[in-house]
Structures are given as C-alpha cells and as structure tokens.
Amino acid sequence: MTLGFYPGCSLKGSSREYAESVLAVAKAFDIHLEEIKDWNCCGATAAHNMNKELSLALPARILSLAEKQGLTEIVVPCAACYSRLTVTKHELSENPALKAVVTEANDLAYTGSVSILNIVQMLDKYIIPNLEGRVVKPFDHKVACYYGCLLVRPHEILKFDREEDPQSLDALMLKAGATPIDWAFKTECCGAGLSVSRTSSVGRLSGKIIGDAKDRGAEAIIVACPMCHSNLDMRRDAINAYLGEKVDIPVLYITQAIGLAIGLDRKALGLQRHFVKVSV
C-alpha cells in the first residue's frame, strides 16, 4: 500500500537516520511512502514566533501540494512538523477569513481534506496489527519513552494520547519486547529550538530528562521527534556538564527500536550516525 510522506527538513539533514529507519520499517511491511513533491519547510518554531501568517501559509502550501498529488493520508514523523501541519489545518478550518488570506498568499487550492498521521499513529494503524510473529530480536531493555512537547500538546487540537503521562510509545515498545519504565519527564521540554541560541538552557532542561532516565535505570531513551533526539544526543556534552557526570544512555527513534526488533540491519537504521554510541 501507499501513504503520503512529509519528511521535513531535519529528516533530510541532521536527523537523516530518522528518515532511514522510518522508510526501512515501512518497507519491511510493504508500505510505500510517497513523498510530497516539491515540499517546503513548515516554518517550525521560527515562523510562529515571528509571523503568524507565514506560520500558517507555509504548512498550508504543503497540505495543498499533498491534495494536488491525490494523497489522502500523510505520515509526518517529525513531531514539530506534525504539530505545525495539524495546527494549521485546525486554524484554517475554524477561521474562514484566515483561510482566505493564506490561500491567497499561496495561490494554491486548499480544502483541508488530507489526514495527518504522526509516527505513532502510523505505526499503530499499519505496522502493529502485523507485528506479531515479526519480532525476531525482542528489544529486551528497560526503556524510558520520551514524548516531548509537540507530539501530545496542545491536546485540544492534536487530540492524541494523554498530555500528562502519555502511553502510546510505551505500548509500542512493550510490543517490541521492551520494558518501559515509569518516570517523571515524559513530556518535559528538552529545550527545543533554543539548541543553538541558548545551549546552556538546553543542557539544563535535557540534563534533567537524561538524569531522571538514568536514576530510574533506563538502558535506552525512545523518542519520536528530531529536535528531542538532537538535543538529547548531540548536546550530550552540555548535558553531562550540567549533570556533573558522564551518562552514556543512547537515544533511539521509535522506528530504530522497532527496526532492531524485527531484525533490520543496524546500518540501514542509521544507528552509526548517533553521537552517543548505541550499545543496545
């Protein structure tokens, strides 16, 4: 079967391994992910911090292109892109005046007919029903499932999982043979877009997350967002400086962990690209 696919910028660059693992897992279950042609950046945090119209017009262009291509359901693995696309779809359906302004800016037809799936929804809907019997190497580790902000908030718009103590990633990891742990930092912010402009804040915020995961015996942290991953993985020096010790718990994308469980090649899942060595 075929699903629409919006990779977003991170998956083409600093989070290449997320794209690699998403595509590898999809392929293993005979799902073809068809990229939206000529897609643009969603504008991310920068756009909605600076200019509301821009923050809606950029995602609206992406959704229009998906419609034009005849895609009815698109998979958006990046939690930040997922949030921007979903918030835009919501705002444009609630506010016809805004929709008119944005469609005029884009010069493309927009009806709002495309369904947007985050990675957990995609896995739940299309992979999990067929997972039984495919797990050849159970991911037999204690894992801290880290949801971050944008996968679950704002609940009023996303209507996905619970905003305090969400469970969906934990449920997936249980099926992959892992033991998800209870911990306190599932939805605390990693520092997100301040990674470059205020790295010390990211060291502190991500440090608390890694610190709690370690204290509770996690052997791996499981994420579904490139920003969470790059802060928890690439900013490990700043995190260790905050914690005052060297913590080497690896951070895996949910699709990398599931890929390992179904026996996919480590390199095909991009595990060699991480800063913190993936020893699990």
SS3 state of residue 223: strand
Q: Does 51 bind other proteins (CB under 8 A)?
A: yes
In degrees, to the nearest 5, what angle opens at C-alpha 135 toward C-alphas 169 and 172? 10
CA distance 42 to 29: 28
Binding mask 201-230 for other proteins (x = CB under 8 A): x---x-------------------------
Task: Give the tokens for residue 248.
Answer: 């080497």
Q: Does 167 bind other proteins (CB under 8 A)?
A: no
CA distance 27 to 143: 25
Residue 257 and residue 222 in contact, taking contact as beta carbons nearer than 8 Å: yes
Q: Does 141 bind other proteins (CB under 8 A)?
A: no
Cβ-based nearer residue to other proteins, 27 or 198: 198
Please, which of residues 168-187 interact with other proteins by CB under 8 A?
Answer: 187
Cβ neighbours of residue 245 closer than 8 Å, sequence gap 6 or more: none
CA distance 214 to 61: 42
SS3 state of residue 81: helix
Candidates 70-78, 113-121, 152-160, 217-225: pick the segment binding other proteins (CB under 8 A).
Answer: 152-160
Candidates 112-120, 165-173, 194-202, 213-221: pick the segment binding other proteins (CB under 8 A).
Answer: 194-202
Candidates 47-55, 217-225, 245-253, 258-266: pick the segment binding other proteins (CB under 8 A).
Answer: 47-55
Binding mask 85-124 for other proteins (x = CB under 8 A): -------------------xxxxx----------------
Cβ-based nearer residue to other proteins, 119 or 149: 149
In degrees, to the nearest 5, what angle opens at C-alpha 185 toward C-alphas 25 and 151? 45
CA distance 251 to 270: 12
* Residues lying near other proteins in the complex (CB under 8 A): 9-10, 12-16, 38-41, 43-55, 57-58, 61, 104-108, 149-150, 153-156, 163-164, 187-189, 191-194, 196-199, 201, 205, 234, 272-275
